[in-house]
Amino acid sequence: MKSKISLILFFIIAQLLNSSLVSANQKPVVESFTFTPTEVDILSANTKVDIELIVSHPNGIESISTVATLTSSRNDTLTTYLTRIDSPVNSALTKVTYRGSITVPRDIFTGVYKFSVSAVKNNPSAGYQYAADIYESKIRPLIGGESGLLIRSGGDLNLNYDTFVGPTFNSNLGIAYNDPVTFNSGNSPIWKVGEFFDPGKYYELRVTSLSLGVISTTPTVCSSDGSRLEFIKEGLCNFIVSTPKTSDYAAKISNQSVSITAARIKPELIVGTISNQIAKDLPKSIEIFRVYNASDGYIIPQSITPSVCFASGFFVRILSGGTCTLHYQTRETATHTASDLYKVTFEVVRDSQTISFTPPATANLSAKTLALSATASGGGVITYQTTSTGICSITGSTLNLLKGGNCAITATQAGSATLAPISTTATVMIAGSVAPTKKTITCVNGNITKKVSGTKPKCPKGYKVKR
């Protein structure tokens, strides 16, 4: 029992010591850092920005004031003091507010200005002293300007931001792409006559609200429709990839110059034929001719009828009767285009079979149904269908007689891997009529009931049908 109590006391003391250690290492906490407005236009009357910083610490805050600095990407700066609003200053306060303001001059450059704040320290009476970590938070979704003060001029921010990066075919840039699978140093256009250049494949767009454009300055060699280039003839192709200037972003351009060489060659293939095969001893393999091209070597065909056959090297594996179709085509390379698609087709002829189907020539409507029976020489299940909708219908192997007329019935055996399908059609003339069906109803008049029977029974006068 004493051992258990000692263990509990040990854990309590350890927790108290740990809590004290955490408190001893506690930095001043920034409760909030705000500025209003979050963007200004230097052509408007209001260019003053009010700043507020709130910092807390359980042992109080020592710093009487601090300095806030705004810095642009060009290293243009604006500074101001933030002073405590408690008067007189009480260093024992556990939460302190600092305020100040900056007047933005009209001759300053536009752009995004980031805040930095000098150290705010806790009261040294705690036996230690640390500075608060003051960070800007994201206040808007503008890419490249998520935080900080936006300074515009007549609505223009003119943000000098990398709206796109690349191209991938310049390995000297050393860019770490966000999508390295799509954008990598191996991703390069084919600079040959007849090819096209789509900048979106080689430049990574970082601001998706914008679009990449391309223009040619040598239109006789390479022409542009604004979104892609077409290489027309051999020579030097000069072009510009860009994103346009907007109210937020400055225009960004990438100048390129490449040599366009002769067009790629389209290979021609010589393919033979494959004689028709008999569906016997399936599955089986047959050897086929070998198609060779100097740029690709041997071309292995692809089957587009895998239920009938599939290609494996220089053999075709036949699985079932039917039409086997193989496609031959070379792959695309930097020097050769893909060849035309060559198609080779042959038949795998299945054994024929016969079917016996002789339903009665006539049937009386009063019978309502008729059993159907047929057999095929190859065995297998027989299915039945009719196109005489309204006169008859089929449920499994039962013919339903609906009304007088000629009912056409087709019996089908679907075949198999080695047997061809077969079907035959017969006609049954439905005649006669169906005897009217009598029914009985119960009629009531007060406490008196009466039953009435007939094909269309009605209650006597004064009576009504019992529900």
Mean pLDDT to the nearest integer, 270-276: 94
Q: What digits encode the pLDDT tens for the residues 49-64?
A: 999 999 999 999 999 9
Residue 346: band (very low, low, confident or very high) from pLDDT cuts 50, 70, 90: very high
Does the structure show a pLDDT above 60 at 253? yes
Residue 9: band (very low, low, confident or very high) from pLDDT cuts 50, 70, 90: very low
Share the mean pLDDT of the chain: 91
* CATH number of the domain located at residue range(s) 164-260 in this protein: 2.60.40
pLDDT above 90 covers a percentage of the chain that reads 81
Does the structure show a pLDDT above 60 at 4? no
pLDDT for the residue numbered 435:
66
Top-confidence residue, 135 or 3: 135
* CATH number of the domain located at residue range(s) 277-349 in this protein: 2.60.40
CA 90 to chain centre: 59
CATH topology of domain 24-152: Coagulation Factor XIII; Chain A, domain 1 (2.70.50)
Mean pLDDT to the nearest integer, 394-398: 97
Mean pLDDT to the nearest integer, 233-246: 98
Ranges of each domain in the chain: 24-152, 164-260, 277-349, 355-431, 437-467
Residue 433: band (very low, low, confident or very high) from pLDDT cuts 50, 70, 90: confident
Decide if 24-152 and 355-431 have a common fold: no
Best CA proximity match to 162, nearest among 144, 180, 141, 175: 144
Residue 44: band (very low, low, confident or very high) from pLDDT cuts 50, 70, 90: confident
Mean pLDDT to the nearest integer, 276-288: 93
- Considering the four listed CATH numbers 3.40.50, 1.10.3470, 2.60.40, 3.40.630, the one that applies to the domain covering 355-431 is 2.60.40
Does the structure show a pLDDT above 80 at 216? yes
Does the structure show a pLDDT above 60 at 13? no
Does the structure show a pLDDT above 80 at 294? yes
Does the structure show a pLDDT above 90 at 456? no
pLDDT for the residue numbered 17:
41
CA-based R_g, the chain, Å: 44
Top-confidence residue, 92 or 186: 92
Residue type, 281: D
Residue 336: band (very low, low, confident or very high) from pLDDT cuts 50, 70, 90: very high
d(CA 200, CA 162): 15
Does the structure show a pLDDT above 70 at 373? yes
Does the structure show a pLDDT above 80 at 1? no
Does the structure show a pLDDT above 90 at 421? yes
Residue type, 91: S
Does the model's pTM come out above 0.75? no
Query: Range with the lowest mean pLDDT among 17-31, 169-183, 195-209, 403-417?
Result: 17-31
- The strand pairing partners of 413, in sequence order, are 382, 422
pLDDT for the residue numbered 22:
44
